């Protein structure tokens, strides 16, 4: 097995879900009004240092990591589900560098130490958020924000 002590990977956090434009229609309520829900937040990417790993060999073939996107909002003011965070386990003693400017972002030295590398996007707003006394049936919604995306270089500093 080949020992790998430095690797470059791409990480992308999940995008936020879009808001929904929906209107309530019931037979006993003649003018229902808006009931569109908000979109869910996208999942974030977190690096966690663990003691039971000693090489970066698991990154040899998989170089791109993506977290789950948030789901879109639903009718009846239902918020979309939040994307699941992606936790990437690395060995203790891993240095994380940003590829674009060679800045050191984190040094994970202790067991179960975590570092948030990419934050997921916020969910968009549904049309219920824009209801007011002057605008009782808004059709405006907002789309979810994009998740952060970056390339990082992982370097294993403990070679003993």
Task: Give CA separation, 44 vs 20, 47, 83, 148, 153, in Å.
Answer: 23, 10, 8, 9, 18
The residue with tokens 């309520």 is 29
State pLDDT tens for residues 95-147: 999 999 989 999 999 999 999 999 999 999 999 999 999 998 899 999 999 99
In which band, very low, low, confident or very high, does the pLDDT at 28 lie, cut at 50, 70 and 90?
A: confident
pLDDT tens digits, one per residue of 49-100: 999 988 888 898 899 999 999 999 999 999 999 999 999 999 999 999 999 9
pLDDT of residue 137: 87
Rounded to whole angstroms, what are the CA distances from 91 to 15, 52, 59, 106, 153?
A: 28, 7, 12, 13, 14
Q: Which residue, chain included where needed, has tokens 């080949």?
A: 2
């Amino acid at each position: 097995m080949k020992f790998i002590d430095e690797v470059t990977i791409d990480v992308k956090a999940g995008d936020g879900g879009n808001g929904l434009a929906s209107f309530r229609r019931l037979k006993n309520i003649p003018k229902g009004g808006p009931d569109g829900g908000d979109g869910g937040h996208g999942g974030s990417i977190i690096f966690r240092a663990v003691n039971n790993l000693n090489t970066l060999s698991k990154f040899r073939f998989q170089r791109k990591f993506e977290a789950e996107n948030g789901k879109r909002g639903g009718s009846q003011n239902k918020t979309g589900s939040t994307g699941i965070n992606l936790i990437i386990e690395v060995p203790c003693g891993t240095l994380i560098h940003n590829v674009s400017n060679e800045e050191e972002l984190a040094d994970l030295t202790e067991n179960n130490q975590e570092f948030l590398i990419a934050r997921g996007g916020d969910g968009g707003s549904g049309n219920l958020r824009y209801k007011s006394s002057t605008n009782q049936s808004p059709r405006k919604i907002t789309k979810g924000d994009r998740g952060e995306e970056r390339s990082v270089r992982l370097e294993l500093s403990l070679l003993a």
